[in-house]
Amino acid sequence: MAGVSIRSVKKSYGEIEVIHGIDCEIADGEFIVILGPSGCGKSTLLRMIAGLEEITAGEIAIDGRVVNDLEPKDRDIAMVFQNYALYPHMTVYDNMAYGLRIRGMSKAEIDMRVKKAAAILELDGLLARKPRQLSGGQRQRVAMGRALVREPSVFLFDEPLSNLDAKLRVQMRIEIRRLHQTLKTTSIYVTHDQVEAMTLADRLIVMNAGRAEQIGSPMEVYARPATTFVAGFIGSPAMNMLPGRLGDDGTVEVAGVRLPVAAPVAGTAGRPVTVGMRPEHIARADQGTRTFDLHVDVVETLGADTLVHGRIGGAGNELIVRLPGSVTTGPGDVVPLAVAPQNLHLFDAETGARL
C-alpha cells in the first residue's frame, strides 16, 4: 500500500500539449476518481501513472519513489482495462496466474493467491474456462482478479465498467466499492460517468481539456463547484447557468429578477457574472415567497420527480427545474418558484471561476 504523488505532470505529443500540469497528492488507501469528458486527458494521466505513456514533464511518485523511468512491471501497480484485455488463449486461472509466474513465484503461492482472488470475486467455478466462454461481467471480474492476485500497492482502473450493461454496471460498482473497503488499497479510477464517480470516490479530480478543474470530495464538488465547467458536468440534469449582473446591495440580477446572495461578493455593482442554480434546488413557492415565475414549455414526468423546462423573464433564459412528482403543470402555465440564497452559485462571466 502506498500513496501516489503527482507533481506538475505534463504530457505533450510532439508540439501539442494535452496535459498542462496536474498536481495531486493521493493518500494511502484513498479511492480517487478522475472524471471528465472524453478527450480531456484523464486516461492519459492514468496511463502515465501506469507507465504506459512517457511523462513529458513533472514527476510521479508511488510510495515516495519517483517512478518516471520505471517500467510498468516495476511500479508495483495493477491495471484493469476498459475492454478487459484478457489473454484469449489462456484459461481464467492462467490469466490470473500469468503475471505471478513471470515474477517467478512458487506454484503453491500462485495457487493460493488465485484461489483467494477467485473466492472474493466469485469466480470459483469458472477457473478452467476461456475468456470467450464468459459473459461481460464475468470477464470484468477476471480482469479485476488479475489485478487482485498481484497484491499491488496501487490499483488503476481505466473505465472498467463502460462495456457493461446498465444493470451490471450498478452491481459491479458496488462490488468495486466493497472490494476497496475490504482491501483498502490505493485506487485510481478513470471514468466519464458522474454517477460512478460520485458513488465510488473518496476524492474526485474533475478534468477538462488537460487541466484539473477541481480536486475534492464528491460533496464538495457538488456543493461548491470551482468552475462553471465542474458545475455543469456534475449533477443531472445539469446546473442552470444564466447570465446576470451584480447588484449594489448584496443581490444579483438575473433576467430582470433580483435575487439575494448568501455571502456578499466582492466587486463593483454591474459586474457581469454567471449565475448557477441546480434544478433540484429550485422549489415551487407561494405568491408571498416567490422570487420569479417560470413560463412552462415542456414537462417531463419521471414518476418520483417532474422536470419542468421553461423560461424566465423572456426568451433565452431557459431553466430546468426538478419538482416533486406530485406537482402537476403543463405547457403554457406560469409556475412561481423560489431559490434559497445559499443555493446560488456565482461564477466570473469571463473566466468561469467561482466567486
Partner 1 sequence: MIENRPWLTFLSHAIVLLGIVVVAFPVYITFVASTHDQVTLLQAPIPMLPGDHMVENYRQVLFEGVGAASAGAPPVLLMMFNSLIMAVVIAVGKIAISIIAAYAIVYFRFPLRMTFFWMIFITLMLPVEVRILPTYEVVANLGMLNSYAGLTIPLIASATATFLFRQFFLTVPDELTEAARIDGAGPLRFFWDVLLPLSRTSIAALFVIQFIYGWNQYLWPLLITTDESYYTVVMAISRMMNVVDAAASWNLVMTCTLLAMIPPVIVVVLMQHWFVKGLVETEK
What are the residues binding partner 1 (CB under 8 A)?
A: 50-52, 71-73, 77-79, 81-89, 98-99, 102-103, 132, 146
**Residues forming a β-bridge with 283:** 338
Q: Between residues 72 and 237, which has the closer beta carbon with respect to partner 1?
A: 72
Min dist. Cβ of residue 160 to partner 1 (A):
12
Q: Judge whether 349 and 265 are in contact, CB under 8 Å.
A: no
Residues 6+ apart with CB under 8 A from 263: none
186 phi and psi angles, rounded to 5 deg: -55, 130
Q: What's the half-sphere exposure (Cβ side, CA atoms, 13 Å) at 295?
A: 10
Min dist. Cβ of residue 156 to partner 1 (A):
9
Q: Between residues 84 and 222, which has the closer beta carbon with respect to partner 1?
A: 84
**Residues forming a β-bridge with 259:** 252
Min dist. Cβ of residue 72 to partner 1 (A):
5
Min dist. Cβ of residue 343 to partner 1 (A):
43
Min dist. Cβ of residue 169 to partner 1 (A):
19
Give the whole-angstrom CA distance, residue 36 versus residue 178.
Answer: 24
Min dist. Cβ of residue 203 to partner 1 (A):
24
Give the whole-angstrom CA distance, residue 314 versus residue 318.
Answer: 9
Q: Between residues 12 and 163, which has the closer beta carbon with respect to partner 1?
A: 163
Give the whole-angstrom CA distance, residue 237 versus residue 231.
Answer: 11
Burial 183-215 (b: 16+ CB within 10 A, else e): eebbbbbbbbbbebbbebbebbbbbbebbbbbb
* Nearest alpha-carbon partner for 252 in 234, 232, 236, 274: 274
Q: Between residues 117 and 282, which has the closer beta carbon with respect to partner 1?
A: 117
Q: Between residues 152 and 276, which has the closer beta carbon with respect to partner 1?
A: 152
Min dist. Cβ of residue 109 to partner 1 (A):
16
Instruction: Provide the CA 209 distance to its chain's centre, in angstroms.
Output: 15
Q: Between residues 138 and 317, which has the closer beta carbon with respect to partner 1?
A: 138
Q: Between residues 52 and 61, which has the closer beta carbon with respect to partner 1?
A: 52
